Structure 1
Amino acid sequence: RAPIAFMNRIVKGYGLAISNGERWRQLRRFTLTTLRDFGMGRKRMEQWIQEESRYLLKSFEETKSKPVDPLFFMSRAVSNVICSLVFGQRFDYEDKNFLQLLQIISNLMRFASSPWGQ
């Protein structure tokens, strides 16, 4: 992978997504072990995904067949599965703090993939 200068300045090569070589292998091993300890690959993770799927379907149903951006719906659902894993709780799709966090992450990713972030 080509290095991402912006991200390297922030995480100094320690991020799983941007590291390489032996550091990447160590981080990957640690991450997989930690995620398994939190329930990844077990019944609990499957339950979180199924629960979030129900919220996602309900959210789609509330649009009453109007055109919507599925990316916004999916990002909230995937983020909530991650929040369930990391924080032990999900957030309502209209929670102000949750939406603000998603916006910050979106802006960061947009900047990191721009010429200025390289």
Structure 2
Amino acid sequence: MASTKISKRKRIRLGLRRKIKGTAERPRLSVFRSNKFIYAQLIDDLTGNTLASASSRELSSGGVKADQSAEVGKNIAERAKKAGIDTVVFDRGGYQYHGRVKSLAEGAREGGLKF
């Protein structure tokens, strides 16, 4: 049976999650991308808590989705700084490191986060 795009992403995501673990000192920056919006969370995998989050739903301006993603990256970096976090582990969530996912990562780096 042919695998769909979603089932391939799930399989890739589970493989990545085996390798990537977030701690309170170095949380996991998790990315979820829908057709309209993009979401980012800083997660401590040891306790299962979300330390900070940001999404493109919070933005007042519309525009190009890649630009929105970069803005979300800057927002998550700002909230991480307030929480005392400067280094993270990037979890692309099974998506290719391209387009909106890449611009979110670059925006977070511009905001001061280290991967």
Whose strand fraction is larger, Structure 1's or Structure 2's? 2
Query: Could you tell me the TM-score, scaled by structure 1's length?
Result: 0.25
Whose helix fraction is larger, Structure 1's or Structure 2's? 1
Query: Could you tell me the TM-score, scaled by structure 2's length?
Result: 0.26
